[in-house]
């Protein structure tokens, strides 16, 4: 059986940067270090950071002193202002692409437009973006929304182009004056396209990533839209030998918050399961496996 790993599988630029900043803070900051929510949607990385003294906290009011890392999704400006007022050290790991979207939202708001954000209402990036977009702003998640006649439109960075265009078409029927910022992240587009291409030439897709990672779930969804059987796993432990019966080629994709080491372990385990080799044997073979036949 052949195994092919999507070239873009694993950390994107923004996540890599945030994780590096968090590990650096663990090494160099004397006092307590917190992240507002898990730094990435990956339990293994979050647990490793916790072991090194970087704790994820849901409620910013619980942080009394020390340093706070703002994760790649960014944070609502009100929360940021309150952290600053309380004299906490801020380590800003907001992805520069997300910062750009926040600036665009503020610019559209300042033009006096109703800002419409295409994305998932409860996603932390969208919650933060809405803070910059102002009180009149709206979030559009695949369901139709009524918009005013003068609007500004942007999106969550991980939205698919199809969803963004679909939303724009529906706004075009209602609004007379529309200013559009395309804030979809290139890394997301490339990853989604590569994953769909890989799904098309595979018999089975394994999508690796945290269950609460929106971009990982989206990859699995896209694989299914091209009609391929798809399994989502967080770790290699979840793989089942029965999934691979009759499969000649398996594609492996991973979300932006999945470490390369997790992808490698998944590939090793697939190879071990499908060749009947023991874990130790398959580890010994290790090495590169971007495309490999057995």
Torsion angle (degrees, nearest 10) of CA 54, 58, 61, 66: 10
Helix or strand (DSSP H, E) at 150:
strand 150-155
| Nearest-CB residue for ligand SF4 | 14
Q: Which of 4, 120, 125, 264 is catalytic?
A: 125
Selected binder of ligand SF4 within 1, 9, 12, 105 (CB under 6 A): 12
Distance (Å, whole) CA 190 – CA 59: 34
Tell me the closest approach of the beta carbon of residue 186 to ligand SF4, in angstroms. 7
Contact flags string 82-121 toward ligand SF4, x per CB under 6 A: -------------x-xx-----------------------
Closer residue to ligand SF4 in complex, CB, 14/251: 14
Closer residue to ligand SF4 in complex, CB, 88/101: 101
Closer residue to ligand SF4 in complex, CB, 155/202: 155
Using the rule CB under 6 A, give the single segment among 11-19, 62-70, 141-149, 174-182 that binds ligand SF4: 11-19
> Residue 180 corresponds to which tokens in the numbers above?
């559009």
Answer whether 20's CB lies under 8 Å from 28's CB. Answer: no
Closer residue to ligand SF4 in complex, CB, 126/273: 126
Distance (Å, whole) CA 40 – CA 210: 9
Distance (Å, whole) CA 119 – CA 64: 33
Selected binder of ligand SF4 within 14, 37, 119, 210 (CB under 6 A): 14
Phi-psi region of 115 (alpha: psi -120 to 50; beta: other; left: phi over 0): beta
204-208 vs 150-155, strand pairing mode:
unpaired
- Site for ligand SF4 (CB under 6 A): how many residues? 14
Of residues 188, 149, 143, the one with CA closest to residue 166: 143
Q: Is 125 known to be catalytic?
A: yes
Decide: is 259 part of the binding site for ligand SF4 (CB under 6 A). no
Task: Name the DSSP class of 75.
Answer: -
Active site residues: 125
Interface residues with ligand SF4 (CB under 6 A) are 12-15, 72, 95, 97-98, 157-158, 185, 187-188, 256
């Amino acid at each position: 059986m052949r195994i092919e790993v999507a070239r873009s599988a694993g950390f994107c630029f923004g996540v890599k940067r945030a994780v590096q900043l968090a590990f650096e803070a663990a090494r160099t900051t004397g006092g307590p270090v917190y992240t507002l929510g898990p730094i990435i949607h990956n339990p293994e990385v979050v647990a490793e950071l916790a072991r090194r003294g970087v704790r994820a906290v849901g409620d910013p009011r619980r942080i009394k002193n020390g340093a706070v890392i703002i994760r790649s999704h960014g944070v609502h400006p009100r929360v940021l202002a309150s952290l600053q007022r309380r004299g906490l050290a801020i380590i800003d790991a907001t992805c520069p692409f997300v910062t750009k979207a926040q600036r665009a939202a503020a610019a559209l708001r300042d033009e006096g437009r109703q800002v419409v954000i295409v994305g998932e209402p409860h996603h932390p990036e969208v919650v933060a973006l809405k803070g910059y977009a102002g009180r009149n702003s709206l979030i559009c998640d695949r369901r139709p929304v009524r918009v005013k006649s003068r609007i500004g439109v942007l999106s969550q960075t991980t939205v698919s182009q199809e969803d963004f265009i679909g939303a724009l078409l529906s706004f075009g029927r209602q609004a007379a004056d529309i200013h559009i910022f395309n804030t979809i992240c290139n890394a997301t587009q490339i990853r989604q396209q590569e994953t769909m291409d890989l799904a098309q030439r595979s018999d089975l897709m394994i999508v690796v990533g945290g269950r609460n990672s929106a971009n990982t779930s989206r990859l699995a969804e896209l694989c299914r839209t091209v009609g391929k059987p798809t399994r989502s796993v967080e770790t290699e432990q979840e793989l089942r030998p029965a999934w691979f019966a009759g499969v000649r080629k398996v594609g492996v994709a991973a979300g932006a918050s999945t470490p390369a080491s997790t992808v490698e372990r998944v590939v090793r385990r697939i190879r071990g399961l499908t060749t009947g080799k023991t874990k130790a044997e398959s580890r010994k073979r290790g090495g590169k496996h971007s495309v490999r036949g057995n």
